[in-house]
A and B are shown apart, each in its own frame.
Chain A
Amino acid sequence: MAAKKFTPKEQPKKKDRGPLSDLDKVTLREIRNCAVHVHGKIEAEDKPELKFPDRSLKNARYDKKDGYFVMGRSRVERTLSVNTVKSFAQTLKMMSLSKQLIDEDDFATKREAYYVSKNWEEAKFDEQPESDAAMDDIEALFSLEGVMREHLRFKADEHGGKVAGQLIVLDRDRDSGRTLRIDCTGFGSGSYSIPTSVEQLGFETKAKFILVIETIGMFERLSQHNYWKTAGCILIGTAGVPTRSTRRFVRKLADAHKLPVYAFNDCDPYAFSNIYRTLKVGSGNAVHLNQFFCVPQARFLGVSPQDIVDYELPTHGLKDVDIKRAQDMLKNDPFFQAHKEWQRAIEMMLKSGQRAEQQALAKHGLNFVIEEYLPQKLKEANKFLP
């Protein structure tokens, strides 16, 4: 029997779309403006060009006052030519997809958008990093107007962080439009998972601070033993580098309720720069986003190099990549360069040549961290690293 060729059914267009939000209107306007500009140039028999913000660390500036990396004025002009015609077409196709998603009140994950492009014949993306880059370009282009990837209706595929503690998240039921109240104390041995898009969320809380924890192991220990109840806090587990939505979630929550944010990490160069610094000031290669995706109020609770000494923690030797990273942080990273305390801490670590993990506190008993370490540290929150 011959194989039947699959032909997908024509997808019915959604008509009953709710009213556009203000940000949706801004996003649509930006997409339209961009297309009008390109079309106008073509009509004038001129080569169209697009000016993208320069998304590199070179164009990143750190200001203690702002508290995050900000983008410089450097722009990259991309003129339509033989070499750029493909990416030009792809960028415009991507905008067109974004417009369609807003029109239909839908969204696509980054991976889905990549697969949608497979229907674009020659203009399809060969690999997902290419479509991701096109998205980043558009996001950077519109970031000046406050538009983010989430507004373009593209979502990350990455998981969000975990939340437990004294927090009620306000969300919206997609079908009924009714407000949902999600109580983060009520997940028992589980936890609330931060969605990929957090813009629509609201918060109710009486917590005193937010504790952002690097490892899920430590997050589980603290949430299972209801540490949030005794300490009056919200626990957030990031499992490594906090995703965009996790950062945005913490930021919105902290801003809304004026909560201090404390980071509880391993003690090694990666934890300092890639995890903590990204949480606090944003990342170097997505400079255009940092104003939204950073938590300037974050402070570093531990584990600090001084903690290794004070608590006589078991350590591991720094690897070559650790040393290289630490030296690079001192030399090139505007954030660490702006903070003497961090420089001293990093130099101390380099001098000792040792690093320690959060779990090393278990040397003194499994719940030492709950009963002694965190309470003692929290008494002197002003001594946390910036």
Chain B
Amino acid sequence: MNSGPGQQTLFDNDQNTMAPEKTPADKKAAPDQKAAAKDGGGKDKSGGGGSAAEQMAKKQREISVSEFFTKNRHLLGFDSPRKALLTAVKEAVDNSLDACEEARILPEIKVKIARIGQSDKQFTMTVEDNGPGIVANQVGNVFGRLLYGSKFHRLRQSRGQQGIGISAAGMYGLLTTGNPVRVRTKPGKRAQPLFFEITIDTAKNRPDAVQKSIEWEKDHGTEVSIDLEGEYRRGQKSVEEFLKLMAVANPHVYLHYTDPDGNVTEYQRATKELPQEVEEIKPHPHGVELGVLLKMVNESENRTTSAFLQEDFSRVGPTVAKEICAKAGIKPEANPRRLETSDVAKIKAAIDATKIMAPPLSCIAPIGEDVIITGLKKEVEADFYVATSRKPVVYRGHPFAIEVGIAYGKPGDTLQMTDSGKIVEVAAKKPENAEVLMGAADEPVRLIRFANRVPLVFQQSACAISKAVIDTNWKNYGLQQPRGALPIGPMVIFVHFASVWVPFTSEAKEAIASYDEIMEELRLALMDAGRKLGSHVRKGKKLANEFKKRNYIEVYIPHLVVALKDILKLDDKQVERAQGKLTNVLEKSRKL
């Protein structure tokens, strides 16, 4: 068996990668594939001449999930050891937060990265939450089965979307270290805490879970540990930075982080307000692609097309359903399961040609201007904070809302006017957390992007948010901006995209696609925040200018008075008095 799936290592160049053939899952995979190949060959025999078909048939087989994963790991965010570590943390934290918030529990998350032995290449990532826990028979599916989850099949604003993340991380860990995913969970105060070791049958996409009862001093919660190949580094795009950004957008979360050297960083909770509870909505007809529509038709429990349209979609009543059927030339009472593909295509065209009320916007939970500012203040030291939260609107049938926050100015670089009219420099404070988000005054601003409260760390340049920030004319707001680039200044721009369905450009969930409606909302939100910023920047510039001028006065007055002293032979007292009076006269004459 030379060409078995998963045979090649994930990082082909890396000699130290543990070969996945040692995994039990892989051993099981082999016979299945042989069987699949035989079946395929049999079917094809009638179609053509003997040995050629036979040869081809040998190559035709079901692609196992692990093979798919190996080939497409970049789509899932596991394309380098460094990124893999961060992606695994991100997926685990996303899951924990979603679970906590859905259960209306204020989240407390503990993240720990530890080296395996002395290795700098293998780590154990552990994420523990105080969420509701997971019932025993679901644990395997949640952590050991790709595309399994509660999120893909419904339209509800949540961090995860496809149910691909944490199980992909588990599979990555399994493929690179051979070690199973370990889970502790306690689904309720009186429930029995359980421990699971989960391997993944990569051929069948089935979890293989071994469970045992344990003792766990905790009311409720879940802890997942994954051993994986990774690379630990600090700085940009590090786990630390990701957690810091998480803390900015989620000030209701308490985060506790232990790095591989045992250093602990705590991100304190700044608000006890959980994000607003969101309603789940049915898809809006305008947001449905033909493929999804076909699937919906097949899975519908409704007996008539009219009922299918009304029941399975939002904003479709009898009148609209009738109109769609008429336009498509389909009888309203036709059984949707019996519709031909061409009929469904007609329905899709009819939907697009029909005016339908916009979807309900209650399914969107923006962070809100106050909370954005709370989050920024908590993690970014600045002089000035502003936020703008746009009302939800709709793109392609999906409601979404754009929010922008700005933290501007490094304390210490700035001036302040006292009540008595003196201008003084504001002293710099030491940042509490090591990761400093804001750059220097002559560097490009720092853009931090979020989708449904999750930081987007990679692929900044491909993202609609970046494009919108670059397209905004920041010169209008007192900043410098090179052509086609981010503006320059001591500033952090926070942009949040909240939606039931975030249009990522890839499954790795790193960049948002540039739909016209999204670009327009981004533009408006950035402009609004920019205007608020502008008046502050101008005020600061005025103050700085004035400070310079007053300094100027104070520099030259002594020379002027000394000249008078030399000519008029003034004594020290007279000199001092003249200097004081002159300074007063000049400063008083300055108007601000």
Instruction: Give, as a whole number of angstroms, the nearest-CB distance from B81 to chain A.
Output: 56
Chain A residues with CB under 8 A of B272: none
Q: Does B589 contact A (CB under 8 A)?
A: yes
Interface of A is mostly: helix
Query: Are A32 and B567 touching (Cβ within 8 A)?
Result: yes
B338, CB-defined interface residue at 8 Å:
no
Q: List which B528-576 residues lie within 8 A (CB) of chain A.
A: 549-550, 552-553, 555-557, 559-560, 562-564, 566-568, 570
In the docked arrangement, what's the CA distance between A38 and B559, Å? 14
Interface contact B567-A85, CB-CB below 8 Å: no
Closest chain-A Cβ to B543's Cβ sits at a distance in Å of 15
Closest-CB distance, B558 to chain A (whole angstroms): 8
Nearest CB on A from B566, distance (A): 4
9-residue interface stretch from B165-173, B183-191, B577-585: B577-585
A181 part of interface (Cβ distance < 8 Å): no
A99 at the interface (CB under 8 A from B): yes
Interface size of B in residues (CB-CB distance below 8 Å): 25
Known contacts A39-B578, A42-B578, A123-B556, A85 near B564 by CB under 8 Å: no
Complex contact A31–B552 (CB within 8 A): no
Interface residue? B586 (CB, 8 A): yes
CA distance A289 to B556 in the complex (A): 30
Task: Flag if B563 contacts A95 (CB, 8 Å).
Answer: yes
Q: Is A144 at the interface (CB under 8 A from chain B)?
A: no
Q: At the interface, yes or no: B430 with Cβ under 8 Å from chain A? A: no
> Residue A229 at the B interface, CB < 8 A?
no
Residue from A31, A36, A45, A89 in contact with B585 in the complex, judged by beta carbons closer than 8 Å: A45
Contacts A36-B568, A122-B555, A122-B556 known; A43 to B549 CB distance under 8 Å?
A: no
Q: Which residues of A contact B549 (CB under 8 A)?
A: 82
Question: Which of A36, A39, A81, A99 has the most C-beta atoms of chain B within 10 angstroms of its own C-beta?
Answer: A39
Query: In the complex, what distance in Å separates the CA atom of A85 from the CA atom of B553?
Result: 7
Q: Is the interface of B mostly helix, strand, loop or mixed?
A: helix
**A362 interfacial by beta-carbon distance below 8 Å:** no
Instruction: Report whether A89 and B560 are in contact in the complex, using a CB–CB cutoff of 8 Å.
Output: yes
Instruction: Give Cα distance in the complex from A80 to B556, angstroms.
Output: 11
Task: Enumerate chain B residues within 8 angstroms of A96, measured Cβ to Cβ.
Answer: 563, 566-567
Contact A89 B567 (CB under 8 A): no
Contacts of A46 in B (CB 8 A): 585
Assign chain A's interface to a size class: 20 to 34
Chain A residues with Cβ below 8 Å from B557 are: 85, 89
- Cα separation A354 to B550 with both chains bound (whole Å): 59
Partner of A31, one of B559, B567, B577, B586: B567
- Contacts known (A82-B549, A85-B557); A43 close to B563, Cβ less than 8 A: no
Q: Are A82 and B582 in contact (CB under 8 A)?
A: no
Q: Closest chain A residue to B566 by CB distance? A: A96
Residue among A31, A81, A92, A99 making CB contact with B560, cutoff 8 Å: A92
A43 to B562, CA, bound (A): 15
Docked CA distance A47–B588 (Å):
11
How far is it, in angstroms, between the C-alpha of A110 and the C-alpha of B556 when the chains are bound?
Answer: 23
A348 → chain B closest CB, angstroms: 55
With both beta carbons as reference points, the residue of chain A lying nearest to B563 in the complex is identified as A92
Question: 29 A-B residue contacts at CB 8 Å?
Answer: A31-B567, A32-B568, A35-B563, A36-B568, A39-B568, A42-B564, A43-B578, A45-B585, A81-B586, A81-B589, A82-B549, A82-B553, A82-B586, A82-B590, A86-B556, A88-B556, A89-B556, A89-B557, A89-B559, A92-B563, A92-B564, A93-B559, A96-B566, A96-B567, A120-B559, A121-B559, A122-B556, A123-B556, A123-B559
| Additional A-B contacts beyond A82-B550, A122-B555 (10; CB < 8 A) | A35-B564, A35-B567, A43-B581, A47-B589, A85-B552, A85-B560, A90-B559, A92-B563, A92-B567, A93-B563
